[in-house]
Structure 1
Amino acid sequence: MSKSQTATVDVAPSVDAGGVSSNKSARRVLASVFGYESFRGDQAAIVEHVIEGGDALVLMPTGGGKSLCYQVPALVRPGTGIVISPLIALMQDQVDALTELGVRAAYLNSTQDWQVSRDVEQAFLRGEYDLLYVAPERLLTDRCMQLLERGQIALFAIDEAHCVSQWGHDFRPEYLGLSMLHERWPNVPRIALTATATDVTRREIVDRLALTQASHFVASFDRPNVRYHIVEKQDVRKQLLQLLREEHRGDSGIVYCLSRNKVDDTAAYLCTQGIQALPYHAGLGTAVRAQNQSRFLREDGLVMVATIAFGMGIDKPDVRFVAHIDMPKSVEGYYQETGRAGRDGLPATAWLAYGLQDVVQQRRMIDESTGDDAFRRRLGSQLDAMLGLCETIACRRVGLLQYFGQTITACGNCDNCLTPPQAWDGTVAAQKMLSAIYRLWKERGQRYGAGHLIDVLRGKKTPRVLEHDHQELSVFGIGPDITEQGWRSVLRQLLAHGLLMVDQEGYGTLALTDASRAVLKGERTLMLRREADRPVRPSAARGKSVGADLPALVQPIFEALRTWRAEIARSHGVPAYVIFHDATLKEIALARPTDLESLAHVNGVGARKLESYGQSILACIEAFEDA
């Protein structure tokens, strides 16, 4: 079967003499293959630009439709689209999804034996693929370079392009070699795509991938369906359990931890509480990681507890929450990870618990880093921005998007908007804490961590206080009116304001900064954040079925279609969303089509799926209505 026959399923694009199709052909591919009648946002402009041979840098939030920006041009332009993807574990699912659409797709990575790899290579040389996914490590080998030179390439798509940035949150050194694509194939368009990039990261992508002539397409970073909620750590496992039980019972979600041990402990704890949870981190065997990831993608209601090694490129649309039980190292990383929630556009939660120890530990890790001063300063500024987001009394989304250079008004869908925190004059409290740190250093030549400082201020005669005669200090007992949790909040905010630093010579001890002087002298007023009592706010989907937003008479049809879809997915060995997304099934249930022509107008029903499943869907609807 020819490329045009496979890609467009009996609606072949018209190609001009130069081999480049018109915009009309792109829309035809979009409708016949992917089942959508129109592009969204910048998609049309990006697709046309790449079809015409231009390079592009695309910044588009997770769930915004980035993949169509290279998949459609790859189907329109002659040759095979080469997609560089950093996660080999997800290539199979991406290829399965395209195959369901009638697109001829394959991948090359280290999981294949030599015979399978040889067959894929030979098929590529015969021009039998529309899209070929390749891991960057594989792409840069001499064998792969020689293979590509012998075939016809439609375009290069560099997915997760932020991996090229050493200042970014997910640097992959293999990406640094991708600049040679421009040198070896100067006439093949390249499209680099990412969901997160600050101006600094964007400039580095352009520089390292030699995209100086590329057009930039920057979509809004806002994900209005995601509710941001940040809390102070108290008993974080119980806090997490409350979130899962009271807001997301039975939902699929991801819980991020910074350490492997915490991943294992948290997953085991959730399982003892009756929640199906799986661990994922680099310390697990390859087979275990692959099995757990496969189960998460294919089964409903599983919780994946993971380090940041998990998640990039996850296409699962119905992840209803992403929870962090440790403070992320950067806003960029935090946004990338929370973007895995609610890809289907339905309500989702981004929940984060953080504490003073998170800040102290990460400051110490930065100070002990082997990088140079510039590198440590950069890491420090990223942590400062993350801490500032946690401590702000303003709209979370406003602060988050400002980090990426976008300005919006208050969102009404974050914890600060829904239950505004109180601001209080913390100048005196700050002076007491700074004085305690100063006195211990000035009079005793010693520095201490948060716990001991709070004991001194609250007048607690602990063995350590008595051992060092700290009950004799003038600052002993001057802060009993603030709780231990309250003092920890003060300390975090002093760190956020740059009035304290983690001492590089100690082990998590605290020291004054030059900025502390103005507060101690009363020359600066300090307004601090006080947490309001925040009752648990149920998510929009709590206690409701997936189709609860549908009219009562339509809900049973939707559920019947979901049951049909589950059976098809099991028989094909793919996740249910690869067959159809919930949004498509909802539209079918509402329209209740009686023939293939009307079914073809539903978003997400392309020609291949209409041919494969159309009669079965109509039979499912007819059987339900006849019952």
Structure 2
Amino acid sequence: MNERVIKQPIEALKEYFGFDGFLDGQEEVVGKIMTGSDGLVVMPTGGGKSLCYQLPALCLRGVSIIVSPLIALMKDQVDGLVAKGIPATMINSTLGLSEQRDRISRMRAGEYKLVYVAPERFKVESFISALLDIDVALFAVDEAHCLSQWGHDFRPDYMRLGKALERIGRPQCIALTATATPVVRQDMLKVLDLRSPFEIVSGFARPNLSLMITSVSKHQQKYKRIREIVKRWKTGIVYCATRKRVDEVAEMLHDWGISCIAYHGGMSDDMREKTQNVFIKKEADVAVATNAFGMGIDRSDVRFVIHFELPGSVEAYYQEAGRAGRDGEAAICELLFNYADTRTQEFFIEGVNPSYATICNVYQHLQNQADGDFEVHETLDQIKSGADVKNGMAVGSAIGALMRNGLVERFDVAGSRAKGTRLLKPEVLTSKIGIDRAALEEKERRDSSKLAAMVELCYARVCRQQWIMEYFGEADAAVCGSCDVCRSKFGKDASEGSSAQILTMRKALSGVARMSRKVGGKWQGRFGRGRIVQMLVGSKSQEVKKNRLDTLSTYGLLKQNGTAYLNELFHAMHDAGLVFTQKGEYPLVSITPRGELIMLGKSTCSLVWPKSGKNQSVATADDALVLEEVGFDPELYERLKEVRFEIAKTENIPAYAVFTDQALESFTRLRPKSMKSGRTIRGVGEAKADRYLAQFITVIQTYG
């Protein structure tokens, strides 16, 4: 037997956990860890990720260190292990120095098998030195997506772990998380510098979850839907973006007579722990909380997760949604989507990504206000005012950036709960602070990109699970059959199509690819949908000739299908996530990675296929109900946007609630000049036509 191994996993599984066998994926991970290799494990929430490192820790000689980001998460894990008779403890900021020393001493004596540690412990030299005298069998980094600044929950303290591993002799290291894109996984490997690691990425799919996205325009609709879900499913979590919203929703639930708790960062540590325990012990049916709640919460009967507002990323959304149905039984995860909620997430992005100028302003203010001991006794709000920063969150983030560069530190003010700021290198001028501007801008860009992906998911008319699986790099994911799209009329009408339809779709996608360019492995569009369709039907318009589109190999390739059919096909391909429209001054169409696979014949998809038939663009006295495309006109598009803006402002509604950008683009390209023809435009329903259409028709008529 290997000298490191003191017990076989299957024995320990039965002895300590009372299980006769593993869940899907667990046995492979445990087996790999037992070989002594470093590794990276991505396993979905509810898949039994914790056991994958707890079990080997019990089977290996020595102490296993578990790095965990939240005190509540540590306590929950340690309490559960101790209840099973497993010697485990935790070391974090809630303990006094004497208690920390005592637990470290007991680690040396071999009294513990698992020790949970907060990542900030590794900036304390005495703690790292203490570990040098301890036989560390396994170093497990839980919630390892926190290692990556491109992850959805980056924690700067995690960045020290790679160097800490070197200092303590490079014990076997395992990084584990529930959600990580390929980019984030690469960061995890790089920061920890894992040695010839194994990588196990379990399927992200949660077949027992019904992922629903419901569009709402008012808060009253959100409350109505929450009431319906709570009545039907009883126990669950309502996630809100802000503390204020948590209090509002919790108060509303109390008024309805529903047993619930409210949980957010504005509460003291003790109050958060007590509140969390109320929910864990099933003394309350519903938790209303900000996003930190639920990480590692071991309550298996959560039957629903509701997102009151839009999350900031697909990673955050799916991790939070995954806290439902951990017992494997059916559960519902519903996002109440209103595009206006993106403003809150944009505020957060701005707050956690201070500009270089903001960081400089904060640093200069600290230098100006420092006393003889180079200390500043001001609150973050006072610094915000003095440094003329608009977003209060950005002040804390700016100070964090200065701390990571070794320029300042925060300290406790004697006799007060407030914290002060101390300059560590007061001689360094603002112009020499050495902050990497490019890195700041890149992180802001990626955070904004994550939010854009979340919005794209909400608008997509393709299976929610399938879309998310492909976002995380899982190719050829199957449809779930239980999300709102799969259950809708769209889902019932969708099919993989005949061989002729598939060939037409692949030709259309080839046309998109020919009129796009690939930069850094990603497709970027250069033309709008109308111009692409013109090229595919072999239009002889001046715009086509001027851009030399008539020289492309795909020119006229789908002439027999006609403009009307292809426009509908493009709408269907957009809904299915095969093409996308880039945001910017003009709506440019390009191909998605999934669309590229289908174009190359490497994958299939279900589509709501347009009715076959050639373009029948015959003019009639009422301005033709089948309209001939005349090309995109940016000036007309801007005029129509101005009309929409004025209507939205007057009625105090989002602009998209009048007409979507897609509808305005169709107005611009097809130029309907009567109410009857205007009603044929995609996105113009009867109610909107009666209320708004006439104003847009007037602009089109007078434009010429």
Task: Measure how far apart 1:207 and its partner are.
Answer: 1.1
RMSD after superposition? 3.5
What per-residue deviation string (whole Å, max 9, x for no partner) do you get for residues 407-455 of structure 1?
3222111111112349996899xx99987761278xxxxx69x763447
- 1:300-311 → structure 2 map (5 Å cutoff): 300-311=283-294
CA distance change for structure 1 residues 295 and 227 in 2, over 3 Å: closer, same or farther?
Answer: same
- Native 8 Å contact 1:248 1:321 kept in 2: no
- 1:132-151 → structure 2 map (5 Å cutoff): 132-151=115-134
Partner-residue secondary structure (3-state), 1:222: coil
What per-residue deviation string (whole Å, max 9, x for no partner) do you get for residues 588-625 of structure 1?
xxxxxxxxxxxxxxxxxxxxxxxxxxxxxxxxxxxxxx
- Native 8 Å contact 1:84 1:157 kept in 2: yes
Q: Bigger shift: 355-364 or 258-267?
A: 355-364
What per-residue deviation string (whole Å, max 9, x for no partner) do you get for residues 492-532 of structure 1?
xx3xx8x99xxxxxxxxxxxxxxx6x983459x9966999x
Asked if 1:125 is matched to 2:125, the reply is no
The equivalent of 1:298 in structure 2 is 281
Q: Bigger shift: 226-235 or 162-171?
A: 226-235
Asked if 1:395 is matched to 2:589, the reply is no
Task: Measure how far apart 1:231 and its partner are.
Answer: 0.6
What per-residue deviation string (whole Å, max 9, x for no partner) do you get for residues 455-496 of structure 1?
7xxxxxx599xxxxxxxxxxxxxxxxxxx78952843xx3xx
Return the match for 2:4 from 9, 19, 33. Answer: 19
Query: Which amino acid in the other structure matches residue 380 of structure 1?
Result: S
Q: Bigger shift: 358-367 or 191-200?
A: 358-367
Query: Which amino acid in the other structure matches residue 439 of structure 1?
Result: R
The equivalent of 1:102 in structure 2 is 85
Partner-residue secondary structure (3-state), 1:254: strand
Partner-residue secondary structure (3-state), 1:204: helix
- Native 8 Å contact 2:241 2:309 kept in 1: yes
Q: Which has the higher contact order (CA 8 A, sep 6+)?
A: 1
- Native 8 Å contact 2:131 2:168 kept in 1: no
Q: Bigger shift: 116-125 or 267-276?
A: 116-125
What per-residue deviation string (whole Å, max 9, x for no partner) do you get for residues 278-299 of structure 1?
2222122222222211211112
CA distance change for structure 1 residues 440 and 237 in 2, over 3 Å: closer, same or farther?
Answer: closer
CA distance change for structure 1 residues 433 and 345 in 2, over 3 Å: closer, same or farther?
Answer: farther
Identity of aligned residues (%): 39
The equivalent of 1:198 in structure 2 is 181
CA distance change for structure 1 residues 434 and 44 in 2, over 3 Å: closer, same or farther?
Answer: same
Equivalent-residue separation in structure 2 for 1:398 and 1:121 (angstroms): 47
Task: Measure how far apart 1:192 and its partner are.
Answer: 0.6
Partner-residue secondary structure (3-state), 2:451: helix
The equivalent of 2:272 in structure 1 is 289
Q: Which has the larger radius of gyration?
A: 2
What per-residue deviation string (whole Å, max 9, x for no partner) do you get for residues 123-165 of structure 1?
2111011111111112432222122111221101100000111
CA distance change for structure 1 residues 530 and 87 in 2, over 3 Å: closer, same or farther?
Answer: farther
- Count of aligned residue pairs for this structure pair: 460
- Native 8 Å contact 2:302 2:331 kept in 1: yes
Q: Bigger shift: 404-413 or 352-361?
A: 352-361
- Native 8 Å contact 1:56 1:214 kept in 2: yes
Asked if 1:64 is matched to 2:37, the reply is no
Equivalent-residue separation in structure 2 for 1:376 and 1:530 (angstroms): 38
- Native 8 Å contact 1:252 1:300 kept in 2: no
- 1:220-369 → structure 2 map (5 Å cutoff): 220-246=203-229, 248=231, 251-360=234-343, 362=345
Partner-residue secondary structure (3-state), 2:458: helix
Equivalent-residue separation in structure 2 for 1:215 and 1:526 (angstroms): 53
Query: Which amino acid in the other structure matches residue 4 of structure 2?
Result: G
What per-residue deviation string (whole Å, max 9, x for no partner) do you get for residues 368-403 of structure 1?
853544333322321221111111112111111111
Return the match for 2:668 from 515, 520, 523. Answer: 520
The equivalent of 2:610 in structure 1 is none
Partner-residue secondary structure (3-state), 1:106: strand
Equivalent-residue separation in structure 1 for 2:655 and 2:165 (angstroms): 56
What per-residue deviation string (whole Å, max 9, x for no partner) do you get for residues 71-103 of structure 1?
111111101111111111232221121122221
The equivalent of 2:446 in structure 1 is 378
Query: Which amino acid in the other structure matches residue 220 of structure 1?
Result: G
- Native 8 Å contact 1:20 1:52 kept in 2: no
Partner-residue secondary structure (3-state), 1:67: helix
Query: Which amino acid in the other structure matches residue 143 of structure 2?
Result: E
Return the match for 1:452 from 646, 651, 669. Answer: 646
- Native 8 Å contact 1:85 1:133 kept in 2: yes
- Native 8 Å contact 2:312 2:451 kept in 1: yes
Query: Which amino acid in the other structure matches residue 158 of structure 2?
Result: Y
Task: Measure how far apart 1:184 and its partner are.
Answer: 2.3
CA distance change for structure 1 residues 151 and 270 in 2, over 3 Å: closer, same or farther?
Answer: same
- Native 8 Å contact 1:109 1:134 kept in 2: yes
CA distance change for structure 1 residues 244 and 125 in 2, over 3 Å: closer, same or farther?
Answer: farther
Equivalent-residue separation in structure 2 for 1:522 and 1:49 (angstroms): 60
The equivalent of 2:383 in structure 1 is none
Equivalent-residue separation in structure 1 for 2:29 and 2:125 (angstroms): 31
The equivalent of 1:50 in structure 2 is 33
Task: Measure how far apart 1:49 and its partner are.
Answer: 2.2
Partner-residue secondary structure (3-state), 2:248: helix
CA distance change for structure 1 residues 396 and 30 in 2, over 3 Å: closer, same or farther?
Answer: same
- 1:508-547 → structure 2 map (5 Å cutoff): 520-522=668-670
Equivalent-residue separation in structure 1 for 2:645 and 2:341 (angstroms): 14
Asked if 1:176 is matched to 2:159, the reply is yes
The equivalent of 1:408 in structure 2 is 477
CA distance change for structure 1 residues 353 and 463 in 2, over 3 Å: closer, same or farther?
Answer: closer
Query: Which amino acid in the other structure matches residue 402 of structure 1?
Result: E
Task: Measure how far apart 1:300 and its partner are.
Answer: 4.2
Query: Which amino acid in the other structure matches residue 646 of structure 2?
Result: H
Unaligned 5+ runs, structure 2:
356-439, 494-566, 572-625, 672-679, 687-704
- Native 8 Å contact 2:314 2:468 kept in 1: yes
Asked if 1:418 is matched to 2:487, the reply is yes
Unaligned 5+ runs, structure 1:
1-15, 442-446, 456-461, 465-483, 501-515, 532-627
The equivalent of 1:439 in structure 2 is 639
Partner-residue secondary structure (3-state), 1:227: strand
Q: Bigger shift: 243-252 or 123-132?
A: 243-252
Partner-residue secondary structure (3-state), 2:203: coil
